[in-house]
Structures are given as structure tokens and as C-alpha cells.
Amino acid sequence: MVAVGIAALAIAFSPPRIGLVVAFIALSGVVLAVGALLERSRRESTAPLHDLGEAVEQVAATQHEERLAARHRATTLDERLQEYREAIERPAPPVPPPPGTVRLRRAQDLLWCGFSSEGLERLRSLGSDMDVTESVRSESHRSLANWYTAAGEGARAREHAHLADLAAPRISREATGVPRRVAMGRDRTRRDRHFDVVVLSDFRLPGGSTGSNLQEITAQRRAGLRTGLVHHPVRSRGLSGGVNPKVLAAVDGDLVRFVAPDERITCDLLVVRVPRIGERIMDEMPQIEAERSIVVLNQTPNRCYGVPDFRGNEAWNVARCAAGFGEMLGEHRWYPISSRVREAMEVEHAAEMAEAASWGITLADEDWTNIIDAPAWRRGTRRSPDGRVLLGRHSRDDKDKWPDDPRTLQSAYPEEPGWQTRVLGGASVPERMLGDLPSNWQVHPFDSVPVREFLHGLDVYVYFTRKGHLEPFGRSPLEAIAAGVPTLLPESFRPVFGDAAIYTDPAGVRAEVDALMADEARYARQVARGHEVVERMFGHDAHLRRLAEMGVRTPETSVRPSPVVPVS
């Protein structure tokens, strides 16, 4: 159309006729106008097609990018699958054997190759080694049982079979389906054994109960007394754990040995420690004919007193334990381990104790206090001064064993320049309370350092617990006092330790520590008072005297120390 218009204009300007020129001019204008309209219409009609084309191109580009990305992902996946296939096909690195396994195999090799005396000695050592696994301890005793069975020593074989069960109950069950002593059959020729003292307790426990049992076992063994051990797990604590290796180490097969459930024994005195045992007595029990039986109350029935709505407050139920012990022991006495436990039984649980009398149970007039080998714990001299003040404490990492609010905790263990607080047993409870432990704290896990070694490195021992918590005795403070470390305690401990400790509240810790560290004579006097009280009230001789009062034969002279049995 544009070309037609231009041609018309050209004709119009050609001579000679003017009218014709005008006509052509008009015609060219019309043609140009029509052409413009047609061009605009064309553009309007083709615009959507242009947009559609661009959209199609964009979709195509996007799909291309997605195909590239998918191809990349597929390649990456193939590479990873190839890596996994190669990893699966690649030989796995050897898994190191459990601790003690190599030593166990060497001991068994010695037996096999004719060096029985050395092999048996190594197996006995492994059977109570704390640094090896339960399975190694159990297999060590199983090897000993097999050896003595082959040698025709049935009694010793059964003893080690029983120890294999005690060391790792679950592993033994998986191996035989029944206790090894049962699998070996009942010994019809065994005669009744007599022991001077039989201790019935849950020997799995890691804390003060096991420490107290070991101290009494040690004192009795040194005095030449025969001690039988009856392991009775507390039903509510789970049943898969093995006996504490410290207890296994105390067993010598002569003066100290475990009593199997199928045995018949007699004894002068049966001592039951851990009252919660009475809530559910085992069905399989040895037949024990005891001249006298006692239950040592090493824990109060409640964990806290004077604290309303304390969740999980009941530690053991007086009525259920009275019924259980009444059926098992008949008439007997309950002995608190301290005046603090006695007060709780006489005041807080008077009605329950009155009902317990129907089972022939009475509360003894004397306390059965914990004991300690005082000479073995005592350090020669105090730590050499070096400008620092080293506070310390040790216990299980339990909420009852720590102050229950940040202010009290920080007052008891101050973050002072030059002061350091050392903790043995873990500190997750105060860490949760404070958000983070103070920078001057040094924490060791439970049993990671020998207790005596830990205490000998302190200047002052500071021990405070949860508000309302009634610490039954305080074995941890007793160990600190025996070690010769001035010990700061709340006033509630005074009836137990008397002049052996210094009594204050957390706010008074700074002043008491400053006074001790500034006055050498004052420090020495406090150490001497502690040693005197420990020796007189809590020593091994004190334990032998009370055994004699119970009708147990004891030597007239003091016992001499022996390093064989662990006491920490």
C-alpha cells in the first residue's frame, strides 16, 4: 500500500495537467491512510503471536535448564552410589577387642599350654578388674569354673560359676539360658558351711553402700573372721547390671566368699544392708540359719523432709519392708546408721514402726555407724601451700547431693581469685542449674580418680546438699575427715560427727576457709580433732567391738592393716 501511494504521488507531479495532479494527490492520501490503518491492524493482530512466541521460548529455556540440572543430579547420584559400592566392597577396618580381651586370651593360653598356676592367677585378677568389661570378668570366672570342673574340684568350680553369673547376669543368661550354677547341677555332697558374719546386700551399687560393705568385710577378714556374701538385687533398680568389681576383688574364696542361692549355711550374725531389699524378697535364696539377724537402715524412708509436694520422695516403704523382712528373718532389729536416721524413724515414721512390731521388728537402741580404715586414709602432711585455696567435694552426681538454688551453690563454692573448687563424681546438676560451670571448677567423673588421692590434694572439704534432704550418714565427709582435710558441713551433721567437723551455712564458708588458711595451728587442731573422733567412733576396732557384743567371736587384740581389699 505504501508503494501504491508513492507511485500515485509521482504521477501526480508529472505535467501537464493540474487537475489530474490534484486527483492523484487525493488518491495518494487515501491510499496512504488506508495503508496506515492496515499496518496498525496487522501489528495489533500479530502482537499476541509475538508474546506467545516469547513465552514458548522461555518455557523451552526453562525445560532445558531443568534437563541439565536433572542430568547433573543423576551424575552425582551415580558417583555417590559408586562410592557406596566401593565402600561396601572395601574391607572394613578391624574392630578393636573390648578392654581386657587380649589379656584374657593370654591367660587361657597359659592354661592350655601347661602354665596353670600363672594362668589361674591372671584369670582371678581379671575377674575383679575394674578396667575390663563385664563380659571379660564373667568369662574369666567361667574359664576358672571349667578348669576346676575338669580338675574334679566341684566346690571351687561352682563358686566361680556363681561369680560368672554375678559379674555379668545378662551375658551369662544369653550363654546358658539359666544361671551357670543351676546348669552345673546341685551339689548333693556339699556340707553346710558356717560363717561368722553373713552380709546380704545389693552388691551392684556404686556409692556409699558398697563402700560401707567393703570396710566391714575388710575389718572382718583382717580379724580372721569368715564372711559370707549374699547378693540380693533391689527389684526396682533393674536386674542387668553385674556386681561391683570392687566387691569381686574382696572375695578370696577362703575368708570371704559369695554364697549361692542353693546353699545351706549357718552364721553367728546376718547383716542386711539396703532396706529396700525387703520390698521384694528373691524367690531363690540360700537357707541361712542365723543366731542373730539385723537390718541396717542406711537410708531414710523419704528422701526429703519438710519439703511439701516433693516428687518421688519415697525411697523405701516401711510397711512393705517390714512384711518382707518379717517373713524372711522372723524377729529381728533394725539399726539406724546415724542419729539422723533414728530421729526420722522415731518422729516421722513412728506409726509405721508401731505396725512393724507385729512382725517382731524393733528399733535398736544403738546406731550401726559406718566405719573406715583410719590409718589407710590418713595423709602424712597437709598439701604444701602455693598461694591457692583448693576446696573440694565428692559424691554421686545426684540432685539430692547438691544445693538446689544458684545462690546457695555459689556461696558454698565461691568463685574467688586464687580459689579452686575440685569435684569428684561429676557436676551435671550444678551445670544445669547455673547454665555453665564457674571457671575455677575442676570436675572429675565418678570413680575416675581414687578417692584418697583426690582428698589428699585438697585444703578444705565443703559438703552441702539439697534443702530438706536428710543425708543418712555422710560417708563422703567421713572419708574427708579421715584423710585429714578440715571439713565444713551444715549444722545437721553435728549429731553424727561432733567435733570432727566445722559447722556453718553456705554464707559462712568464705570466713571459715580464710580463718583456717591464715592460722596453721588452727588448721592442725581441726585435723587432730577429726582423727581422734574417727579412730574412736568409726575405726575398724569399733566395728569388732560391736560384733563381739552381737555374739561374734573376735580377737582380743587390734587388727593389723592389710592392703589386699580395696576400701575406696
What is the mean pLDDT for each group of 10 consecutive residues in the chain (568 residues)?
Answer: 53 57 66 74 70 76 80 80 74 77 89 85 90 90 90 88 87 63 57 91 89 95 96 82 91 93 94 95 92 95 78 88 96 94 94 95 96 94 90 92 92 94 94 92 92 96 88 92 97 94 96 96 97 95 95 66 41
Enumerate residues 6+ apart whose C-beta is below 8 A from 436: none
pLDDT value, residue 305: 82
Cα–Cα distance for residue pair 477/498, rounded to 1 Å: 12
pLDDT value, residue 22: 59
Q: What single-letter amino acid sits at 237?
A: R
The domain made up of 100-190 is a member of CATH 1.10.3930: no
Spatial contact of 356 and 318, defined as CB atoms under 8 Å apart: yes
What are the structural domain ranges in the chain?
A: 1-44, 100-190, 191-371+555-568, 374-538
pLDDT value, residue 561: 44
Residues in the chain: 568
Q: Which three cell numbers stand for residue 99?
A: 578392654
Spatial contact of 281 and 318, defined as CB atoms under 8 Å apart: no
pLDDT value, residue 33: 76
- Using CA atoms of 532, 537, 543, 544 in order, give the dihedral in degrees to the nearest 10: 60
Cα–Cα distance for residue pair 99/96, rounded to 1 Å: 9
Residue 176 pairs with which residues in a beta bridge?
A: none
pTM of the model: 0.73
Spatial contact of 314 and 470, defined as CB atoms under 8 Å apart: no
- At the top level of CATH, the class of 374-538 is alpha beta
Enumerate residues 6+ apart whose C-beta is below 8 A from 274: 201, 202, 205, 209, 234, 298, 299
Sign of CA dihedral 93, 98, 103, 108: negative
SS3 37: helix
**Which contiguous run of DSSP H or E holds residue 290?**
strand 287-297
pLDDT value, residue 170: 78
Spatial contact of 296 and 272, defined as CB atoms under 8 Å apart: yes
HEC readout, 100-132: CHHHHHHHHHHHHCCCHHHHHHHHHHHCCCCCC
Cα–Cα distance for residue pair 418/386, rounded to 1 Å: 10
What is the arrangement of strands in the sheet containing 487-489, beginning at the earlier edge strand?
441-444, 419-424, 389-394, 460-462, 487-489, 502-503
pLDDT value, residue 88: 73
> Distance of CA 38 to CAs 3, 46, 152, 215, 274, Å?
14, 12, 123, 116, 109
